[in-house]
Each structure stands twice: as C-alpha cells, then as structure tokens.
A and B are shown apart, each in its own frame.
Chain A
Amino acid sequence: MRIVLVEDEARIARRLERMTREYFGNQLQQLVVCDSVTEALQALDATAPDLVLLDLNLNGQDGFSLLANAAAGAFHTIIISAYTDKAITAFAYGVLDFVPKPFGEERLFQAFARLATAEKKPDGGLRFLAVKKHGDIVLLDIQELRYIKGAGIYSELHLQNGKKELHDKSLEKLVQLLPASFERIHKSYIVPIAQAERILVQEGSRYHLQLKNGELLPIGRSRYKELKAKLI
C-alpha cells in the first residue's frame, strides 16, 4: 500500500499520518506527505500511489485542479477538508469518500474501510469520470457511457457516440465509485442498466446482454441471476 498525504497544516498532517499508520500497519509500504499542489503533483507521478488523502485548500489555493488530477488517476482519493459544502462536487468527480474536518479516528477508519469493500454506495454521487487526454483532464458525464470494459489495470470507456476513452482506474475501483444504476455484468464489463435491451440465452448456458444499439456483451455466469432480477 502506497499512500500520498496532501495537507498543508503540519499538525493535521501528523495526525493523519499517525492514524494511517495505525490503520494499515504492515500493509503500508510507503507514505509520502506533501504540503503544496506542486509537490503533490510530483509525488503522484513519482509514487504511483494506491490511495491519496487530499486537503482541498492548500496555502490559500483551491485544490480542485489537484482533485481533477487525482480523480483521473489510477488510485482512490479520500478528501479531507474543512469545506463540507464541497463534498457533493468532490463525489461528482469520483472520490471514494469525503471526511469533514475536524475528524476523529473512527470517521477516518470508516473511509479507509471503503477501500476494501466492493459494495457500491446507493447514491455515490459520481457524475463525471475524469480522463487524461493529451496532458489535459477531460470530464466525461457518466450519462454518456454505453459500457465500460476492463483492460488490465485500465478501463475502456465506451461512449454512446461510439468513441472510446481510456481511464486510469481499474474496473474494480470504478465499481466502487459508480452509482447503483451501473451493473457489473462480467468480470470485464460494467453496463449502465439504462443501456441494456435484453438478455440473450445461447446454448451451453452462455448468456449475452444485448445493448440498445444492438451490441452484444457477455454476461458472467455468476452474475446472470442478479442482472435478470434487475432487468425485469
């Protein structure tokens, strides 16, 4: 487990560090603490972290550029901020959790626990997927998705307009962020329920999902029942 901690208040950074070490114990391979946007961006590049703990206001600077960067990354982000009114925006960008300041151990551990559960939150609040494109970060509305296909440590976002974008997060991580209207139908596919047309049963109990545009996607054997219940 590699973690980057971005916080400009020394005392709070130490508090976070202490609690993080306590929670992850031996699992923690590396913990980098930075106190400015520039430093944080460098650390994200250098460390390839699994988790980023991010304060949204650094030295009087709005951390949303950093948030967009983090959201496009392969890692999960937990926001720790004084600005509770920013929580909705943060979730819309696709953060795992938003821990309001002042925080205690319990609330922070609850956020850490989310890392391990594949369970979706009913109203995750995710509205955009941040995608790195030519050095910029583009926000894609999740309403535009047709389906998501896992591609190793990346995911392919297939859009309704036929285009394809690459996202740095793995399918596993996206499942944790996407709202309940998205269904994992296969170990390599996530589909918005709204895009599903019907289930095709083929010989040898192979199942396929026909999308609204006619495209066929395989359905994992173990996921068939759940999907069928949702579609009917």
Chain B
Amino acid sequence: MYRLSVFLCLLLTLGSCQPDVEFESSGAVFRTGDNPQWAAPGYDDAGWRTERGTTGSQVFWVRHHVLLPHWDSTAALGLVVRSFGGFDVYWDGTRIGRNGQPATATRAEVPGTETSYYLVPAALAKPGPHVVALRATQVYQAAEQRFSDVKLHSYPRLLRDPLLIMAFVNLMAGALLLAAIYYLFLFSSSRQKDYGTLIFSTICLLCFALLMVEYVKFYVDIPYPRFYTRLTIIGLLTFAIALLVPLYFTIQFGLPRKGLVAGGLLVVLSGIYGLNYPHYDQTAIYLSQAMWLASLLVVVLAIRQRAKGSRLVLAGLLASAVTHYFLYFDYSLYITFTVILLCMLYLHALRVRVVENERQAAQQLSSRLKLELLKKHIQPHFIKNTLTSMLDWVEESPKQGAVFIQALAREFDLLNDMAEATLIPIGQELELCQHHLQVMQFRKEVRYELEQSGLNPEELIPPAIFHTILENGITHSIPAADGSIRFRISAEPCATGRTYALLTRARNRPAEPGAKVGNGTGLQYIKARLTESYGTGWRLHSGAVPEGWLTSITISH
C-alpha cells in the first residue's frame, strides 16, 4: 500500500506537470518537392497544404512555425518531433539532426521512428519566432495521413523524464511479473486446480506485457512502419485484460453464471474494438472503461451477496475512477490496473486464508476422528459393561473368561494399530469386526455371524467404518428366535465407483420415543471419516429393509 501511494503521488506530480518550456506553435504545413530554400526561416510558405497528400516515394517538406517568447540561452533547448517518415530536421535553416533517412533516387528510405528528440544548438536557441523544417519521405504507410507535431522542452528534462517514468513502470512490471510467476507455480503445484489462480496469474502477466509494450518506446527505436503494430498489441492486451478482470471477480466472489458474464463481456468488448478500430488510444480507453463498469457491476452483485472483501474492491474501483478523472489517460489506465490488481491480491490473500482455515479444520477433523476411534473403547458404556461381563465369566467359567479377555485384547491391539491411519486394508477391518463380534457375543450372549462376499482384503477403506455399522446393528437389532444375528458385508462395482453394503439380518428394535434414526454418533463418525478421505465423492444410505437393516456406502473413483 505504501509503494502504491508513493507511486500515485509521483504520477500525480508527473501528470500535473505543465510543459517546462513556454512556446506557441502553429500547425504543420506540407509541400511535395525538394528545395533547400524551404528550410529557411524567412521563406514564405503561405500556399502550402495542411495535409501531406499523396507523396509516394517523393520527397516532401514539412514546416512548423514555433514562437519561443523567452529563453535563457545558457540552458539547453530540446526539440521533440512526432512524425512519420525518414527525415532531416532543420532549425531556422540549420540541419540539427535526422530521423532515419529520406529516400533518394538510388537509395531506399531508412524509416525513422515516430517520436524523435533533438538538441537545438545553443547559438540558435534564442527567444523569438523559429521554423522547424523537415525534409522527408514516407514510403511506407503511404496512405496514412499522420499528423506532424513539434514541441519544445528543456533538453535535460527530455533525458530525465523517461528515466523517472521507467523507474516506476519497471517497479510495477517487476511486481506483476513476480506475481504472475508465483501464482502460476501456485496453480500448477496445487492439487485442486483453482482456475481463479490461473486467471489471476494470466492477468498479472498480461498487465506486465502491457506495461512493457507501452513503454518499450523509450528503449527501442521502432521504425514508423511498425508503429501501429505496437498499438495493435496494446489494444489486444487491453482487450484480454478487460475480459479477464471482471471474470476473475465473478470467480473470486463465487457468483453464478460465469459463462454468461464472460460471453456478454466478450460481445461488448468485441463491439467496442470493432467500432473504434483504427483509433487505438480511444479503443483502449473504451475497453478499460468497459472493464471498469463490468467489474463494478460484478462487485455490486457480490456486495448484495455479502461476499467477503467485496466492499474493499468497490472502494478500490471508485478510487481508480477518481485518479482517472485527474490524470492523463496513459497513467490513469495503469493506475486503474494497479489498483484493481491490488484489490485482486487482497482477495487472493483472503482466499488463501480460507484455504488455510479449511486445511486446519481438516487436520482438526482427522485428530478428532482418531480420538473418537480410540474413545470408542474406553468410553464407560463399552469398557464397564465389558468388564462386568468379564467379571461374571471369570467367576462362573474361568476358561471362557480367558477367551473373552484374549478377544478383547486383540480388538484393542487392532484399534491401536489403525488409530493413526486414515485408510486401512479391508482385511484388517474385517479382523477387527470379528474380534468385536466375539467380545459382544460374550456380553450379549447372542450368536453373531459375519458373512462376506466380493471383498478384496487389500482394498483400502477408512478405519472402523464396518465396525461402527456392526456396533449399530448389535445395538438396534433383536436377535432371531435361534438367538443369532447375522451380518453380511459385500462389495460390488457400480457405475460411479464401488459400493459396500452391510446388511444386518435381524428384527429391528422399534424406535424408542424421541429417538432419531440416522443421526447417531456412529453415522456421524462414518460420514466424517468418508469426508476426510474422499471429500464429497461418497454417498451413504442407511435404512430398514425387509431382511433387517441395510447400510450402503458408495465411494466414487
């Protein structure tokens, strides 16, 4: 935030700078032909055209009249020429530089760059009227009636200003590039493919590219035939950003109908781009305004849905609108982008926190489940009743009592072994079930039988799932006339994955008044275990069937 505010202040001072040299200039006048006299300040150019017209590969001259009301002759005066073509530049008849080379009969034109800078010799930089003349050819883009413009500046300022601007642009671009790379890594290394992260990374990369392409003009002399190429790239980058930013907000705020938003926006942006085609700067302005409006709309919707962080983003958007009002477009566009990016970074930080919380919750769930698994067998109901029965067995028939104790010890061993695991082989689970049934047989004096079919002992399932279903079956069933309760565990593949079914063959105990079926701690444990290992990729059904009670679990692959 600090960096941003410094940046904003500096851009404000830059943007609000008046030209440092006071001068007046009349519009350019053109004449096809070639005469060294046309460079002279005294030459009367009254009949010259205000447009270049058709020149083909012919030489033409451009004259600019500038008035320098006062000037301290010890300072260095700089001249900025914005014009297409290859040309020599004359100041009051004296050649002070060239930008490319005009074509001659024997040599092709060397194209110059669109904006060129010159030092006016100190002897000639005096207050009063001056003439800047260009002897030029424009072989490329011959049909383009590009304006010709001159400006006077303090020469040191001409050297320093791009450095200052670039310092901040590079700072911003570096941050954007880092963010792009970081979020790309984050996306590619994360197991859950969060497309919000990918879009965010792309937006950062596009903004980085936009800054680079916009300000490459200070580093590279782009020949004028390529001038529009750069503007086209800028337009396309702006287009992509204007499309992605509102889309990112819809994803970030979890709004519905993202496809519709993206589609609608695409149509609007394409319309803007098509309608304003040759007017590059205007297109960029409209595109960024459309982006701003679309983002605003999304954010307002998000606020209505009370999405986290939406108010801050709204504030950011409004702030960017304010800067836009005060600043020259080029700067304000990047400030808008920067503010929006900062908003997005903030949202991302929020999201990271949510993910962190979720992970923490998952860890807590795991340790809670582990605890629950161990608690199952030290809770008073189980342990005290078991001990009471055991006491009775030991008193009445010590031999059977010893078997009972062995079975309980084995059950404890098995539980202890699986307590740390989130998934265990089915074989181990079945062994646990068998020992549990043996223990319960001693307690309840009911014969429990466990059948199985289609089970692969190597397959993995969460621990104590079948065990918990068995416990429920034991508790809620009335034994058959022969004093037995039969359980059947089976597995079979189904369309979405694998279904495990546990059938309790017995009469169900009538529900006691006030009891709710399907909400017991047992089922909650099973659900929590399934969520822990499979997320949402499971289904559990538990209900009465003619033979007794059927619990089925489907796990999707």
Contact = CB atoms under 8 A, between A and B. Distances in A.
A90 to B, nearest CB: 14
Contacts of B393: 11
Nearest to A10: B445
Given A10-B444, A59-B509, A60-B520, A102 B391 contact: yes
Interface stretch (B263-271, B331-339, B381-389): B381-389
Contacts of B443: 9-12
Nearest to B446: A10
Contact of A11 (B389, B513, B520): B389
B380 interface: yes
B388 A12 contact: yes
Interface in A156-210: none
Contacts of A212: none
B220 interface: no
Interface of A is mostly: mixed
A10 B383 CA distance: 16
B388 A61 contact: no
A9 B389 contact: yes
A214 B393 CA distance: 61
Interface in A79-110: 82-85, 100-104
Interface of B is mostly: helix
B60 interface: no
A57 B446 contact: no
A198 to B, nearest CB: 49
A37 B512 contact: yes
Given A11-B443, A59-B475, A59-B476, A104 B380 contact: no
Contacts of A85: 380
A101 B520 contact: no
A9 B388 contact: yes
Nearest to A100: B384
B381 A11 contact: no
B477 to A, nearest CB: 9
Contacts of A10: 443-446
A101 B387 contact: yes
Contacts of B224: none
B273 interface: no
Contact of A103 (B380, B388, B472, B512): B388
Given A60-B520, A61-B515, A11 B384 contact: no
A6 B514 CA distance: 19
Contacts of B388: 9, 11-12, 15, 82, 101-103
A38 interface: yes
Contacts of A11: 388-389, 392-393, 442-445
A14 interface: yes
Contacts of A65: 513-514
B389 to A, nearest CB: 4
Contacts of B444: 9-11
Given A15-B392, A84-B380, A101 B512 contact: no
Contact of A60 (B446, B475, B514): B475
Interface of B: 380-381, 383-385, 387-393, 442-446, 472, 475-476, 509-510, 512-515, 520
9 contacts: A9-B385, A11-B389, A12-B385, A12-B443, A15-B391, A36-B509, A37-B513, A60-B475, A102-B387
